[in-house]
Amino acid sequence: MNNIPSLNYDKLIIALQRDGWVVVRQRGSHIRMQKHTPTETLKLIVPAHKPIKRSTLSHILKQVHLTLKKLNDLI
């Protein structure tokens, strides 16, 4: 991992919404998000933790195809 920040889930949700993701529902401490693309519908689960573990954040960034620079721009 290369300098993954410690980030709260609410800031991550806002950044993902700026990237086109939509909150579909929340059940307990897990927030389900979706993003519609021309070819498919992408799904993502974000844990509602303060802060999100760095390893978990790294996996989320890989799933949504975001770099750290792009994430910082969205925050």
Per-residue pLDDT at 1: 46
Per-residue pLDDT at 2: 64
6: its two tokens = 């410690």
Average pLDDT over residues 21-32: 92
Per-residue pLDDT at 17: 92
C-alpha 6/C-alpha 12 separation (Å) is 10
Average pLDDT of every residue of the chain: 88
Average pLDDT over residues 10-23: 91
Per-residue pLDDT at 30: 93
- Please name the fold of domain 9-63: Metal Transport, Frataxin; Chain A (3.30.920)
Average pLDDT over residues 49-55: 88
Q: Where are the domains of the chain?
A: 9-63
For the chain, what is the total number of helices (H) and then of strands (E)?
3, 3
